[in-house]
Amino acid sequence: MSKLKARLADQIKANGPLSLAEYMNAALSDPKEGYYMRRAPFGAPSAGGGDFTTAPEISQMFGELIGAWCVDLWARSGAPKPVNLVELGPGRGTLMADICRTASRHSDFTKNLNVHFVETSPALRAEQKQRVAQASWHDSLATVPDDALTLVIANEFFDTLPITQHARTKTGWQEITVTLENSASEDSALAYARAPEEENPFSAVQAALLPDAAPDEIIEASPVREYVMQDLCGHLSRAGGAALIIDYGYARAAAGDSFQAMKHHEFVDPLACPGEADLTAHVNFAVLSQLAVETGLQAHPITQQGEFLRSLGLDQRAAQLAKASPEAVGKIMSERDRLAAPDQMGHLFKVLGGRHPDMPPLAGFEAEYAASEGQL
């Protein structure tokens, strides 16, 4: 039994079952044994990590298009100086490095650019410094300056924030908790259990968006995600600017258990090895969008990643790269398809754009904007 698992077992024996959010927080962010504190998540499988990959690691095209998106929005906003570019959960820094490389063609933008990373992992901070040495690092958005136009990028960030799960009953809800399979055993496995029934465990925003759920169906919630989104929107309300949130999830609230763990690019039992696997869950974009609106921001209609990237010029950029490197055509087109094809990341991953009311409309949402008859 790992040190973290043993500590969680002792905590359960002393205080009772953990909420799923408490379990996720410990497994991912424990200062000594948490996943993001001690493992290298990206790349090929190895003893020290290599558990998953993200869009910026798949292809430079992803970061290039986001970089062009940033420069375009800044220019259409009157080219204000300075500008703060903030990334939440920047991984190895690959996305920001590609953004800055693309933006370097526009000196008026880059010479007035301040890059800020919100990152708590010491290991990932070290990697980020190798790729984007000019950045400033923060443990939370609270210390990021709000005195200039701010562009916020959050790619595969919200899915890692802790969730709770609630099973429908005939008259209410039972929270899914984490307990011990056999409390008398010194090496007991962790197991799921249900807390006593309660009438309404959801926030007002989520309660208003709840889908129909049959008995025993699961609804996921995340007070942490809601708090972070409110904090982000408040920051943009003060500073002006826009945010781009890209993640896997659903555009409309849905029932179902999406809690999962990845280790060495394979799905594993989320309770089997806390601290040694990446834990995530689908993002409820409907809740994030509603929170943006309630904070006074303009929320663009949620779109799919494939549609978003193609509207920014993914196919044209792939053709340019293929023409410049004919020997790599197969690889380039495979990367394009992985980012945008419906059966890969194209449909599963969603994009939410939010902007201060003084900002111009965001590029990439034209199709959804037209479909909603221009109602932003």
pLDDT in tens, 214-239: 999 999 999 999 999 999 999 999 99
Whether 23 is covered by a domain: the verdict is no
The CATH number for 292's domain is 3.40.50.12710
Can you give the pLDDT of all 376 residues of the chain as single tens digits? 789 999 999 999 999 999 999 999 999 999 999 998 877 777 656 556 567 789 999 999 999 999 999 999 999 999 999 999 999 999 999 999 999 999 999 999 999 999 999 999 998 999 999 999 999 999 999 999 999 999 999 999 999 999 999 999 999 999 999 999 998 788 899 999 999 999 999 999 999 999 999 999 999 999 999 999 999 999 999 999 999 999 999 999 899 999 999 998 899 999 999 999 999 999 999 999 999 999 999 999 999 999 999 999 999 999 999 999 999 999 999 999 999 999 999 999 999 999 999 999 999 998 665 555 544 4
Distance of CA 166 to the CA centre of its chain: 22
Nearest residue to 63 (alpha-carbon basis) of 314, 325, 323, 352: 314
In a domain, 74, yes or no: yes
> pLDDT of 247-270, one tens digit each?
999 999 899 999 999 998 899 999
Rounded Cα–Cα distance for residues 112 and 109 (Å): 6
DSSP code, position 279 = E
Q: Are strands 164-168 and 173-180 parallel, antiparallel or unpaired?
A: antiparallel
Residue 349 lies in a domain: yes
Q: What domain range includes position 249?
A: 49-161+221-371
- Does 92 map to a domain? yes
Residue 65 in domain: yes
Kindly tell me the burial class for residue 316, based on how many C-beta atoms sit within 10 Å of its own C-beta (0-12, 13-18, 19 or more). exposed
In a domain, 94, yes or no: yes
Residue 171 lies in a domain: no
CB atoms within 10 A of CB 257: 15
pTM of the full predicted structure?
A: 0.94
Task: Judge whether 200 lies within some domain.
Answer: no
Q: How far apart are CA 161 and CA 226, in angstroms?
A: 10
User: Which of helix, strand or coil describes residue 267?
Assistant: strand
